[in-house]
Amino acid sequence: MRNKLLLEAVGTFFLCLAAMVATNPLSVAALLCALIYMGAPISLAHYNPAISLAFRLRGRASSKALWSYVGVQFGAALLAVAVAGFLLGHDSDHTKGAVDALAESAFADFGVVAVVELLATFVLAFVILMVGTSRLTAGNSYFGLAIAAVVLGLSGTFGEFNPTMNPAVSLATSLLGVSSALFDGLFGSKAFATEMFFLAKISPRLLAEIAVQLAGAALAAWFFRTLFPEDR
């Protein structure tokens, strides 16, 4: 179990870091593909709490493994946001945007974002269950390419809405403003306070977004088991 968790930590860390630092979704997809082939023989390469939930509901993981994976994934996300904050430094434009956002509802346009996250996470989880757990595709060598391709395709399709399809990535990106200000020596400054107020304001939206992602993964697991009840 130790090796599984360590590989999950490494994969989730670099996936979250790439999501925050990379400027091209193709780079993220390429790195994800490599990380999947790296970790799949040991940990099954979830790198995503929503996917871990889908595996549990699919019947391919225990409850203990689910909670262990999720804890490691969120821990790796926190480490990734610390590194990203150090690398990127403070973004004054982000702080200005945070000031403007404080005057708006945290749930502005959330309905559209929720639908996108639900659909995207559902498709991602279903593809992973099909290429990674189905008897119909057992032993295939293209699973990593398929998963990377669906991530890239969904990023392009829903790029305007910037879906993460991953609770760990959602957490990391939400904390990036605070981390960047902290590592840029702005602790206690007006900019740091603004980022903290903004984080507090969007926290309910973050939790709702994560809930939608988990719902999408659960729906994928249900759909898989409905289509293939004999595939246990």
For residue 181, the domain's CATH number is: 1.20.1080.10
| Domain assignment of residue 28, yes or no | yes
Answer whether residue 21 is part of any domain.
yes
pLDDT tops 90 at residue 52:
yes
pLDDT value, residue 90: 81
Out of 29-38, 101-110, 152-161, least confident range: 101-110
Length of the chain: 232
Q: For the whole model, what pTM was predicted?
A: 0.93
* Residue 137 belongs to some domain of the structure: yes
User: Taking 90 as the threshold, does the pLDDT of residue 232 lie above it?
Assistant: no
What is the DSSP secondary-structure string of 131-184? HHH-GGGTT-S-HHHHHHHHHHHHHHHTGGG-----HHHHHHHHHHHHHHHHHT
Full residue range of the structural domain in which residue 219 is found: 2-89+105-224
Query: Cα–Cα distance between 213 and 88 in angstroms, integer?
Result: 27
Domain count, the chain: 1
Write out pLDDT tens, residues 63-94: 899 999 999 999 999 999 999 999 998 877 77
In a domain, 124, yes or no: yes
For residue 99, being part of any structural domain is answered with no
Quick check: is 97 in a domain? Answer: no
**Is 111 part of a structural domain of the chain?**
yes
Q: Report pLDDT digits (tens) over 143-200.
A: 999 999 999 999 999 988 989 999 999 999 999 988 888 877 676 577 788 888 888 8
Q: At what angle do helices 190-227 and 110-133 cross, to 10 degrees?
A: 50
DSSP output for 35-97: HHHHHHHHH----SHHHHHHHHHHTSS-HHHHHHHHHHHHHHHHHHHHHHHHHH---HHHHHH
Residue 98 lies in a domain: no
Listing DSSP states for 15-41 in one string gives: HHHHHHH-S-HHHHHHHHHHHHHHHHH
User: Residues 23, 88: contact at Cβ < 8 Å?
Assistant: no
